[in-house]
Structure formats: structure tokens, C-alpha cells
Amino acid sequence: MKIICVARNYAQHAAEMRAELPAAPVFFLKPATAWARSGEVPFPPFTGRLEYEAELVFRIGQGGRHLSPREITEVVDALTVGIDFTARDLQARLKAEGLPWEMAKAFDGSAWWGLWCPIPPDWENIPFRLYRGETLLQEGYGRQMIFSVGELIAAASRYFTLEPGDVLFTGTPAGVGPIYIGDTLRAFWGETCVGEVYIVKSE
């Protein structure tokens, strides 16, 4: 299983990060060990600022290479809401030094996603939301993406062979911010809670 992630795919998020809009999709990978399968995310000891990024996540059902843009249901078979966790202070330092920043994005427990849901025809108009307790942290829609899921799949398959079971994180809307030990995060797809995440102290 590969976890394929997209950077800067929502204009408002790019703006809040003071980053330019990309001319083409920008990808990075997380290893399978990044998956926080249990729903518990240890706060990494190497960061003082762990941030959440809620995203729509799609599961690859029919893979391949060099795919052309097509109906997403020909390639993906389910969607859900996930969280891309980022060690923001570490990422900032690595960027400032001109170094790769996988350490800030691909560490163990840096990716979580909820229960898989079928893909309705109007999925782009259904909101996804992230809450801390009862406080809304983020809200977004698929229609707000700069690059569509079809475009992302086609672009990603130029570089990586897509395999059944791979997951595609499609970028985060505005509103990213810090989380703390003891926080409980709840992810919603429409009115359905697809799962909860618990931020725990690292052992």
C-alpha cells in the first residue's frame, strides 16, 4: 500500500501558507507505516507543533500506469475523510535549509483515514469537516480542488504505478492548525462521522 499525497490543491490553503499556486500537481509519499490504523496518534517527540490537515481520501480499486483522465469510479472504489499530520516546525526548518521534508510528513502515525464510503454522483458538493470536540476546525468540498481527482490520478500514474489498495490524499482546505496531547478529532463526510482520532503521548 502506498499513501500518495497532494500538496497545495486548495487555493485558500495555499494562501494561508503563503505559497504560490502550483501549475501542476505536486506529490509526496508516506510509507505504509505512517498509517495510524488504531486511531491513536502519538505526539512525536521531535516536534513542538503538530498540525492537522483534513482531506478527502480515495481508495484505488483498479490501478495502472500512464492513465488518462477518466471517470474516477473507473479507478477508485471508495472515499473517506483523512488527516495528514505535519510536524510544522520541523518542516519549516527543513524547507529553510533547502532539504527534503519527508521527516516532517511521513513519520509513523502521520496519516489516518476513516471508514470507507461509496462514491455518490454528487460527491463534490458534499462537505467534509473536522472537529475538535464540538469546535469546527475545517470544512471543504471536492469542487474546491484546483486539480480534480481524475487529473490527480492521471498525473500520479505518470510517476507511480497505482495498485489496488493504494490511497490518495487530495489536499487540504484552509484552516490547518495545531493539535495537542489529549485532543479528540472527529471527521465527518456529510452528516456521517467516519471516525475519531486521539492524540496521545509518545511512549
Mean pLDDT of the chain: 93
Q: How far, in Å, CA of 176 to CA of 170, rounded?
A: 15
- The model's confidence at residue 187, banded by pLDDT at 50, 70 and 90, is very high
Where residue 16 falls (left for φ over 0; alpha for ψ -120 to 50; beta otherwise) is alpha
Give tens-digit pLDDT for 84-99: 999 999 999 999 999 9
Distance between CA atoms of 143 and 140, rounded to whole angstroms? 9
Question: Which pLDDT score, from 0 to 100, does residue 116 have?
Answer: 98
Residue 63: pLDDT band (50, 70, 90) is confident
Percentage of the chain lying above the pLDDT 90 cut: 85
C-beta separation of 1 from 125 below 8 A? no
Average pLDDT over residues 30-56: 97
The domain locations on the chain are: 3-201
Q: Does domain 3-201 have CATH number 3.90.850.10?
A: yes
Cα–Cα distance, 189 to 80 (Å, whole number)? 7
Grade residue 74 by pLDDT with cuts at 50, 70 and 90: confident
| pLDDT value at residue 144 | 95
Cβ distance 74 to 119 under 8 Å? no
Query: Looking at residues 49-63, what average pLDDT do you find?
Result: 96
